[in-house]
Chain A
Amino acid sequence: MDLNPLTNEDVADILALLDSLPYDELDLQTPRFRLTLRRAPGGWTQSTQVLSAPERLATTAMSHRGAPDHGDVTLPSSAAGAGEGGNAADEAEDAELVAVRAPLPGTFYRAPRPGAAPFVEVGSRVEADTVVGIVETMKLMNSVHAGVAGVVAGFCVANAEFAAQGAALLRIRAGQ
């Protein structure tokens, strides 16, 4: 495997040596990495563990924009991603409020593109198949459907915020 401590050629050389020996496994560990080579049906397998810690450059005046880029969002720490506004609604016991949940972990977008009108607003009437937002996971846009007919009661996650899988994105008051 082409992890840096050893190149493909290094591994090939070690394997050439191993091939002439009666061993079925080689476990090599240094402070920087651990390499395990095993004889398997049809050939060898390898697994590498890079052990060295990253060496960080201390920086001070890094320029960056106020907000993370669209589509390249850093994970908010712990519960921050749930969105403050959503917590109260989360706990409210209201049988008619149906949560629309994130199908995958990702970034929730309320509009098809920045600057465009949101798919729905609080008060919008929706059908089960109405698109109410997009969750972007690994650069793929997944449309989120209402899943139930009714009226949008409120949002639990703000636009361009990260949502965990299954997190409530918005709530819909089902029925009339």
Chain B
Amino acid sequence: VILRRVLIANRGEIAVRVMRTCRRLGIETVLTVTQADADAVPARLADKTIEITSYLDVDAVVAAAAAARADAIHPGYGFLSENPRLARACEAAGIVFIGPGADVLEAAGDKLTARGHAAAAGLPVLAGGLAEAAGAEALAERIGYPVLVKAAGGGGGRGLRVVRDPGELAGAVAVGSAEAQAAFGDARVYLERYVSPARHVEVQLLGDGENVIHLGDRDCSVQRRYQKLIEEAPAPRLGETLRVGLRAAAVAFGLHLKYQGMGTVEFLVDPERSAFWFLEMNARIQVEHPVTEAVTGLDLVAEQIAVAEGRGLRLSQASVRQDGHAIECRINAEDPAARFRPSPGTVTSAVFPAGPGIRVDTHIQAGSAVPPQYDSLLAKLVVAGGSRAEALDRLRGALARCEIGGVATTLPVHAALAADDEFAAGGVGTEYLALWLELQTRLVRDKSG
């Protein structure tokens, strides 16, 4: 198949990102938009738009693709990107789904099933299981506190909660379940052993159903409430043994699933003990894919499309090169001065840095609405350099030239982190950002008191 027209069933920066590759490849784009997004930048950049009431409505998305006579659907990330029902509906309608098949989506998208597959493929897995109202307490006792409550229906850190005290378990399961239902349409949550300190390292996979290769690793340890804020490639100060082990484990998992398309295997890493555990697989393009693109020189969306066209892998493991270092900052409409509360509104100005080694993926411009019903990502600032030190240096300069008005953003936090010695040293753990934020709050309080 040669794809000539693709329906992009998403919004925000990833919709713009997918359009960029489509345009380069001579593929026409049709974008689904809700009323809130009908005049947004992605709608203005698409060749055509088609209105739907919800990005989560499988039937509406497939009907839109049929109405637009699209050859394929690119689901982006989030929303329906890992929804097996969409993959099946596409197949039934003769539309190419740019992503893995429904079976693989079921195996990887359901985090509990994925744990089982990981164990079967020989990957280390943390103790855990499904949290059912009745058995949750007994399960947590078996695992040992603290435990982590996680959404079974999807990743992205939604519905995650640490429970340190048995008395808090029922409440955490209930609220986690509500968040999981809202984010994924699946209220099931599971419990897992909580490891801290640890790092969050992931491996980018690309497969064609038979062959699976990796495109290197990324470190996503700088997180707040399990939401990634800064990602980099490659993972700094990992050690060669651990790095080789992680990449081999990811490829083994991909081969076990006969993985087709772009996907990411996430791991929790204890660098002290040189140990790692499988966390989950994200069967889609990821928010942080540009750092991998920056160090490999590849266009990951183009590779997704090539696999979707049934052309098989165009790359061999040996042909994938990695040079230098790249760092991505997620600029979110959240107010760091008010515990990162969402800051919807209207963007009054949007000035970004430009220059060598700098890339900004965004969907906002002066006048853009930031609607309250969608996630808060405004832009991704990606910097690359020959070394991590060079990338960091470039990041500091780039952040200083970034200015977004009208809504509160995470920019000040990025600027402060880029200047922090511990972050500069590399290899911080997942608890780093929370501790750092606590310290800042205390410093402010001491100064004013």
Contacts of B19 in A (CB 8 A): 4
Given contacts A50-B44, A75-B35, A109-B178, contact A57 B59 (CB under 8 A): no
Contact for A42 among B183, B349, B361, B400, CB less than 8 A: B400
- Interface stretch, picked from A90-98, A137-145, A148-156, is A137-145
Chain A: interface size category: 35 or more
Given contacts A46-B354, A63-B60, contact A72 B55 (CB under 8 A): yes
Judge if B239 is at the interface, Cβ distance under 8 Å.
no
A46 touching B374 by the CB < 8 A rule? no
Cα distance A140–B349 when bound, in Å? 25
Contacts of A120 in B (CB 8 A): none
Contacts of B45 in A (CB 8 A): 3-5, 50, 52
- Interface stretch, picked from B62-70, B117-125, B262-270, is B62-70
Judge if A61 is at the interface, Cβ distance under 8 Å.
yes
Judge if A166 is at the interface, Cβ distance under 8 Å.
no
Cα distance A107–B24 when bound, in Å? 39
Judge if A87 is at the interface, Cβ distance under 8 Å.
no
A112 touching B43 by the CB < 8 A rule? no
A113 touching B181 by the CB < 8 A rule? yes
Contact for B374 among A7, A116, A134, A138, CB less than 8 A: A138
Interface residues of A in 14-37 (CB under 8 A from B): 15, 37
Cα distance A57–B52 when bound, in Å? 11
Smallest Cβ distance from B368 to chain A, in angstroms? 10
Cα distance A47–B348 when bound, in Å? 12
Given contacts A48-B365, A57-B50, contact A70 B181 (CB under 8 A): yes
Smallest Cβ distance from A1 to chain B, in angstroms? 4
Cα distance A91–B46 when bound, in Å? 46
A49 touching B365 by the CB < 8 A rule? yes
Contact for B183 among A11, A105, A107, A139, CB less than 8 A: A139
Contacts of B46 in A (CB 8 A): 54-55
Question: Helix, strand, loop or mixed for chain A's interface?
Answer: loop
Contacts of B245 in A (CB 8 A): none
Contacts of A54 in B (CB 8 A): 33, 38-39, 43-44, 46, 49
A62 touching B60 by the CB < 8 A rule? yes
Judge if A8 is at the interface, Cβ distance under 8 Å.
yes
Smallest Cβ distance from A130 to chain B, in angstroms? 13
Cα distance A40–B355 when bound, in Å? 11
Contact for A139 among B36, B47, B182, B361, CB less than 8 A: B182
Contacts of A53 in B (CB 8 A): 44
Interface residues of A in 53-86 (CB under 8 A from B): 53-57, 59, 61-65, 68-75
> A62: nearest residue on chain B (CB-CB)?
B63
Cα distance A145–B340 when bound, in Å? 19
Cα distance A41–B398 when bound, in Å? 10
Interface residues of B in 47-98 (CB under 8 A from A): 47-57, 59-60, 63-64, 67-68, 79
B366 touching A75 by the CB < 8 A rule? no
Smallest Cβ distance from B16 to chain A, in angstroms? 6
> A135: nearest residue on chain B (CB-CB)?
B372
Judge if B371 is at the interface, Cβ distance under 8 Å.
yes
B30 touching A57 by the CB < 8 A rule? yes
A2 touching B360 by the CB < 8 A rule? yes
B51 touching A56 by the CB < 8 A rule? yes
B182 touching A141 by the CB < 8 A rule? yes
Chain B 315-352: CB-based contact to A (< 8 A → 1; otherwise 0): 00000000000000000010000000110100001111
Judge if B448 is at the interface, Cβ distance under 8 Å.
no
Contacts of A107 in B (CB 8 A): 373
Judge if A114 is at the interface, Cβ distance under 8 Å.
yes
Interface residues of A (CB under 8 A from B): 1-5, 7-8, 11-12, 15, 37-38, 40-57, 59, 61-65, 68-75, 103-107, 109, 112-114, 116, 134, 136-143, 162
Shortest 6 CB-CB contacts between residues of A and residues of B: A71-B182, A54-B43, A46-B354, A138-B342, A69-B56, A42-B397
